[in-house]
Amino acid sequence: MTQGHPPAGWPPPGNADPRYAAAPPPAQPGPWGPPPAAPKSRRGLWIGLAAGALALALCAGTAVGVGLGLRGDDEEGPAPKAAAGANGVTVTNAELTALLDRHSKALAAKDLDGYLAAFDPARKELIAGQTQLFRNLGKLPLSVARYETIERQGRAGDAFGQGVTFQLDVSFVHQLDGFDLAPVTEWYRWTIVRTGKDAPIRVTAVTGAPAAGNGGSKTVHYPGPWDKWREIHVERTPHALLIADAARAGVAKRYAPAADVAVTNGLAVWRASGPPGPVPSGFVITLADGKDEMTSLYRIGTEKATEAGFSLGLVAAERKDGKDTIGGTRIVVDTSDRYFTRTGGDNDARMVLRHEVAHSLMTPRTDLTAVDAFSKLDEWVVEGFAEYIAFHGRPLGASERTAQARQVVRGGWNGTLPGNGEWDDPDRLSFHYWLGHAAMNHLAEKHGEVKLFRFVEAVYGGTPTDRAARDVLGVSLDEFQAGWAAYVRAQAR
C-alpha cells in the first residue's frame, strides 16, 4: 500500500504496497507466486513531498490556496488602464474576487441557481457538470467550503473592445467535519470570458489546475470523487467516511463496518502508546473500482496505479506558525482488487484498510520543511510501521509474507536493513516489507511500544534514522541492526 504526501510531486502518487498489488499468476500455488512489479523507489518521492509543499507555496505566491492574489496583469497597470477607455474590455481583480465570493455563498446557502450563475448557460455540458458537483458537495459534511483565487493566466484587458479570455486558477478550500484537522485545497482552472465592455463575466470551461513541480500528478487533488462521479454515495460510520459512486452504494455499505473497525483499532493503538499531537477522529476512504479510477482520484497520475490502496496527505490551506502542515488525508482503495474479492486468508480487506490507516495516522506529523531529512526517510520504517499496525496484536507469522521470507533468510541473507535503493528490486520487494515489519516487532519487544511510536514519529519529523535510534532507543543504528538481524534469523528457524 502506499502513503502519499503533498507536492513537488504535489500531489504524489503515494507509496504503493505491493502486498496489496495485482494478484500472482493463477498458475502459482498458494498466495504468493512471483511478487508483482515494483513501484518506483519512494526515496525520490519522499524528497519531493517536503520540497513540493514549499514549491507549491512559492508557485502560489504565499499560503497554499488562501489569500493568494491574482498574478496576471496588474489591474492598475497600463494594459487595464488602456482597456478602461471608451471601447476597452477589462476584468478587474475585484470583480473576480466578488465572483468567487458569490459562488462560495451560493454553495453555503444551497442555492443552485446562484452557484450556476458564474457559468455560461449556453454550455449545457458545463452546466450539467457543475450541477452534479453542487449536488455531490451537498452530501459531504463540509464545515468549511469556499473558493479562493490562486493566480490568473493571461491578459484580463483589451483596449480595442475585442473581448478577453484568460484562465483563472481557483482553490476550493474545504474541510470535512470530524475528519480533516484543518481546511485543505483542491485546485480548479476556470476559463474566464468577457465578450464586451458591458457583458457579464462567464466561466466557459473548468478543469484541474496544475502546480509547479507537480511530479506524480498533473493536477492538485483534482478530480475528487465529487468531480468524477455523476452522483456520489456517502456512507458515514462513527470513525470513517466512505465515498463511492452512487451506482456502487452497496459496496460502500458492505465495507463500512470493516473500515470503521480498521480506523477504531488504529486510533486505539496509537492513543494508547503514541506521543501527543494531532490525531483525527476518523478518516475519509474512497472506494474505487479498478486501477484506472485509483489513478485519477485526487490526482491525475503519470503512471497507472498497481496497488490495492494508497493514503494521500493534503497540505493545509493555511500555514501554521509560518509553516506548511498536513490538513487531512484521503485513503483510496480498489475494491476490485483480490484483497477485497477473495474469500478467506489473513491479508484481506481489513489488512489493506489498517495499513492505510497507519499511513494516515502518521501523515499529519510530517515536517514538510525538513526537505533534506526527507531524502533520508527510510522505507523500512514507513512501510514496516504500516505493517505493524495492520497486524497489531498478531504474531509475525500471521503475515502471508513470512513463509517466503523464511526461505530467503535460510538461503543466505546479509543481515542488513534494506536501503531505499534496494526497494526497486522486484525479487526482494515483498521480503523488504517483511523485514520492515520484523524490525517494528523487534523494536516493540525490546524497547516497548511507546518508544517504537516515538522513534517512528521522529523519523517522520525529519530526524535521520540513525540519530532517531540514538535519541529515542538509546542505541546506535548498527547496534539495533545487529539485534534485529538475530531476531530475524530466529524467526526463520
pLDDT at 147 > cutoff 60: yes
pLDDT at 398 > cutoff 70: yes
List pLDDT tens digits, range 470-492.
Answer: 999 999 999 999 999 999 999 98
Q: What's the pLDDT band for 212 if we cut at 50, 70, 90?
A: low
Q: Which residues 6+ apart lie within 8 Å of 86 measured at CB?
A: none
Q: What's the pLDDT band for 215 if we cut at 50, 70, 90?
A: low
* Burial of residue 271, with CB atoms counted within 10 A of its CB: 0-12 exposed, 13-18 middle, 19 or more buried: exposed
118 in Cβ contact with 99 (< 8 Å): yes
What is the rounded CA–CA span in Å between residue 347 and residue 321?
41
Q: What's the pLDDT band for 223 if we cut at 50, 70, 90?
A: very high
pLDDT at 9 > cutoff 60: no
pLDDT at 98 > cutoff 90: yes
* pLDDT of 85: 56
90 in Cβ contact with 160 (< 8 Å): no
Give the H/E segment covering residue 328: strand 326-334
More confident residue, 36 or 169: 169
Give the H/E segment covering residue 124: helix 124-137
* pLDDT of 375: 52
pLDDT at 36 > cutoff 60: no
DSSP assignment letter at 180 = -
Q: Please compute the mean of the pLDDT values over residues 83-95 and round it to a whole number.
A: 78
* pLDDT of 348: 81
B/e letters for 307-340, b = 16+ CB within 10 Å, e = fewer, are bbbbbbbbbbbbbeeeebbbbbbbbbbbbbbbbb
Q: Please compute the mean of the pLDDT values over residues 73-90 and round it to a whole number.
A: 58
What is the rounded CA–CA span in Å between residue 330 and residue 180?
9
Amino acid at 146: R
Question: What is the grid cell recorded at 416?
Answer: 542488513
Query: What whole-number percentage of the chain has pLDDT above 70?
Result: 79
Residue with C-alpha cell 510530517? Answer: 366
Q: What's the pLDDT band for 213 if we cut at 50, 70, 90?
A: low
Of 73, 77, 54, nearest to 64 (Cα)? 54
Q: Which residues 6+ apart lie within 8 Å of 305 measured at CB?
A: 13, 16, 291, 294, 295, 334
Supply the pTM of this predicted model.
0.85
What is the rounded CA–CA span in Å between residue 389 and residue 274?
12
